[in-house]
Amino acid sequence: MPVRTAQDVLNRYWDRQLPIDPYRIARAAGASVEPDYGMSAHDLSGCFDVVNNIPTIRFNPDDAVVRQRFTIAHELGHMFLRHGHSFRDNARNYSSGTHLYRERDANSFAAELLMPKEVVEWLVFKEKKHDVEEMAAILNVSGAAMHYRLMNLGLIRY
């Protein structure tokens, strides 16, 4: 469901430009996207909530840009998957809890949103891109996220 939902969001809001802009998609979908400078003190990356009937995504502006982009996409996942209010810990503090499935689903949504299967396959098979860091740069994601995505799509083994 998260992948299908991300594909539906891309079909509706994506301008077909690379890299995909999760901020632009969020705004087009009616969400407010705001930096939250207090998140660093709490070691958080992002949050989704509805404030005054407006879907609101807050992100940590102190995170690396690729992390901010993934966080916004992740929080969009919470929004479109109707998870309600949700915090996203940073990688160091990520822990399994009672709502872990929501975090996994939001991560799957974010991966498909920022690195759609069709785009990754186009890069590999049509554009003959095989360098993970080069693909990561094209899609403006971290090398780790790109590597993980390629593994999940069965395009690399390690």
Residues 129 and 108 in one domain: no
28 and 92 share a domain? yes
**How far is CA 14 from each of CA 9, 24, 62, rounded to the nearest angstrom?**
7, 9, 26
Residue with more model confidence, 88 or 132 = 132
One domain, residues 137 and 60: no
Domain finish residue from 78, 98, 114: 114
What's the domain range around 138? 115-158
Strand boundaries in the chain, DSSP class E: 32-35, 44-51, 54-59, 86-89
**101 pLDDT more than 90:** no
Number of folded domains in the chain?
2
* Least confident segment among 4-13, 72-81, 82-91: 82-91
User: Strand, coil or helix: what is 84?
Assistant: coil
Q: What is the CATH number of the domain that holds 34?
A: 1.10.10.2910
Q: Residues 94, 139: one domain?
A: no
Please state the pTM of the whole predicted model: 0.91
Q: Please give the pLDDT value at position 22.
A: 98
Same domain, 25 and 97: yes
Q: How confident is the model at residue 90 (pLDDT cuts 50, 70, 90)?
A: low
Q: Chain-wide mean pLDDT for the chain?
A: 91
Give the lowest-confidence range in 24-28, 37-41, 116-120, 135-139: 37-41
Instruction: Give the pLDDT mean for 18-44.
Output: 96
| 82 in the same domain as 123 | no
String of DSSP letters for 101-114: HHHHHHHHHHHHHH
Confidence of residue 92 (pLDDT cuts 50, 70, 90): very low
As beta bridge partners, residue 86 has 48
